[in-house]
Structure 1
Amino acid sequence: MADDRISLVFAALADPIRRAILTRLTEGDATVAELAAPFDVSQPAISRHLKVLENAGLISRTRRATARLSHLEAEPLREVTTWLARYQRFWDESHERLDELLAALQGDRKGERDRDTAVRPRGDDHG
């Protein structure tokens, strides 16, 4: 069940307008008109984006007088972050191994340079 919600969250986050809407909602609740203002899209298009966000559990919607307000629900983002954290450990370990390899390679090169530039015993200069 959690995997299904994670899939819905990723699908919702795939669209830049929906990500921008979520960013705007971090500042507080907003109407469809307020959310549509920065975009060159219709209010019905924004409403469709809001429906996707709502289905993913990323927003909730309430009525206040005649306005319908959208509210950020961040818990699904925490679930995605927890899921992604497993892969962060993988990348951290991979980067550590890469750092060790690079250090070893640089050490080998430094050793080669030191050997090449070392003072060699001079032979007899007589032809």
Structure 2
Amino acid sequence: MLSVGSIVIRVADLERQLLFWTAALDYEPRLPLDDGFALLRPRSGQGPNVSLDAVPSERVLPPRIHLDLYADDQAAEVERLEALGAQRVHWPKRPDDADYLIMEDPEGNRFCVIDAGPGEAA
């Protein structure tokens, strides 16, 4: 049997991305920290780990893989993520009734914030 143990994101500035993703997801780093790699795990114990790997990598758009982050209050979460340094990404093909917003972290790694509030089919 297989299970997802960690989703790995390549980063240039490990310290900055560590601050962003721990705050964004309410995760904590596994200690001791490594110079080029950080494993982040959910404080609640629920959900996959997210690892940050400080390895130079060419940015490809659209990305081949991205995170879908489910939010009970999408507007509040988007505002909170923007305050942490994330930015919204405009995509002209996004349907008007889409339940997601495309965002990117401070280094341009893209993710979606999905409206998973009550009554939404996430």
Q: Does TM, scored on the shorter chain, surpass 0.5?
A: no
Flag the structure with higher strand content.
Answer: 2
The alignment's TM-score, normalised by the length of structure 2, stands at 0.26
The alignment's TM-score, normalised by the length of structure 1, stands at 0.25
